[in-house]
Structure 1
Amino acid sequence: MNLILLDPNDLTDDGHVCITDPRRLTHLLNVHRSAPGDLLTVGVQGGSMGKAMLKELTAERAYFQLETLNEPPPPPLPVHLVLALPRPRMLARTLEHVTSLGVKEITLLHTKRVEKSYWQSPELRTDKIHQHLVLGLEQARDTQLPSVTLSKGFRPFLEQQLPGLLSKRRGLVAHPGMPNACPRGISDPTLLLVGPEGGFIAWEVEQLMLAGCEGMHLGPRILRVETAVTALLSRLF
């Protein structure tokens, strides 16, 4: 936890912060090993970052005095990530990784090679998704939560959502065997589409190309989704 992410409800009217949830308290006690008088980095969810002095720390609560709260969060990446729904354990790690890297718009998509059972996973509960996004923000010192959209049908996504997503973005499909390598250091608003571990099927790739996307590859190696997404974002931006 490189940032203590505060819910607006943690703030009091007199410029103090009171934290009572077990996860953050345990981290302050056992990982940070904080003590009264420590000056720690804090940020309000959806707002600014700054410093707060720890006044009291027990197993029941942490009480801070806000010192500053005027630092903006780091800029987001100019990308909307469309990710074929990974297996649940990989989904959790991937959400944390891409949030840490600055992705603010995520669509989880059903494709032919996505197991239908994945959509029943507890990892897709709103509270579980929120938990992984928060962990990513705390790691990277950011306060702006990404939005996550679930798209359970490829054809409805293709017909109803993709045209709007491409209207002001450059569409890039990451898929093994594409003739062009992944571009480097771009700054254009981008729609990045990444398939499941087995890749998109040929029909899906064809439809994405017909819709106006460009195909690209990361080289001859076949990577796990969480590795591929991290490598793609790092290379692109």
Structure 2
Amino acid sequence: MNLALLFDEDFVAQDRAVLQGRRFEHIKSVLGTSIGDHLPVGRVNGQIGLGEVVALTDSEVELVVLLDQQPPPPLPLTLILAMPRPKMFRRILQTSSTLGIKDIWLVNSYKVEKSFWQTPWLSDDNLRENLTLGLEQAKDTAMPNVHIRKLFKPFVEDELPALLKGKQALVAHPGTSTPCPTHLNRPTALCIGPEGGFTPYEVGKLEEAGCQSVHLGPRILRVETAVPVLVSRLFDACL
């Protein structure tokens, strides 16, 4: 945890916050913090700064906080991701948050098993927890938005064209002739399929909506590898 992320409910006064649970345990046991020490903090969707430890018990830590700096800028990226396997979903979510992706769409695909949508990691509390872990790693405060769409065709036909407006739209698809572009640094939408990729029908629908198919070369990557590789290739801010 490179930054303690503070939520509105943590504040007991305008400049004081009390932390319990995971964040408290990390501050006390991992960082070995004592009264008078300072640590990086940030308020969700707000500024970052420092927190001074003014009280420390067996269950909570109280901080006086000064927030006077802006968080790192977000990536101008909309990530459209076929629902991954639950065992890798948490890692992908944390990685996306760490990289600065603020707009994440989880969509269905023919190769997405129905059971994937039953994972408890899709609950609001678990989504927030994993996005928070990614923000803390990156010393960021801007909470990403996650949208869930369980029907592929209605999403692609009814919502995607408007979502792609004003953006360079790409779908990662091995075997296509166009390599993934680099140094974009402009509003972009990136579609990444499930393990095994989108079906030809799905790729066709994405292309009809305005996406261009691109590839990363002959190697087939796992989704959890493809996400950071594609994002770092597209945006200089990740280099």
TM (norm. structure 2) is 0.96
User: Aligned AA for 1:34?
Assistant: T
Q: Report how many aligned residue pairs link the two structures.
A: 235
User: Aligned AA for 1:82?
Assistant: I
Is the contact made by 1:180 and 1:216 (CA closer than 8 Å) also made in structure 2?
Answer: yes
Specify which of 70, 73, 79 is matched with residue 75 of structure 1: 73
1:14 offset after TM fit, Å?
Answer: 5.5
SS in 1 for 2:217: coil
The residue number in structure 1 matching 2:127 is 129
Structure 2: how far apart are the matches of 1:14 and 1:161?
40
Structure 2: how far apart are the matches of 1:159 and 1:14?
46
1:27 offset after TM fit, Å?
Answer: 0.7
Q: Does 1:4 align with 2:4?
A: yes
Q: Which moved more, 1:105-114 or 1:23-32?
A: 23-32
Q: 1:201 to 1:14 in 2, by over 3 A?
A: closer
Q: 1:43 to 1:105 in 2, by over 3 A?
A: same
Q: Which moved more, 1:192-201 or 1:26-35?
A: 26-35
1:73 offset after TM fit, Å?
Answer: 0.7
Is the contact made by 1:79 and 1:191 (CA closer than 8 Å) also made in structure 2?
Answer: yes
CA deviations 1:103-129 (Å, max 9, x no partner) are 000000000000011011111111111
The residue number in structure 1 matching 2:36 is 37
User: Aligned AA for 2:44?
Assistant: Q
Is the contact made by 1:174 and 1:195 (CA closer than 8 Å) also made in structure 2?
Answer: yes
Is the contact made by 1:172 and 1:213 (CA closer than 8 Å) also made in structure 2?
Answer: yes
Structure 2: how far apart are the matches of 1:35 and 1:161?
51
Structure 1: how far apart are the matches of 2:159 and 2:24?
41
CA deviations 1:188-214 (Å, max 9, x no partner) are 211100000110001111111122211
List gaps (5 residues or longer) in structure 2.
none
User: Aligned AA for 2:6?
Assistant: L
User: Aligned AA for 1:64?
Assistant: L
Runs of 4+ in 1 over 6 A off after TM superposition: none
Is the contact made by 1:11 and 1:17 (CA closer than 8 Å) also made in structure 2?
Answer: yes
SS in 2 for 1:12: strand
> Superposition RMSD on alpha carbons, in Å?
1.0
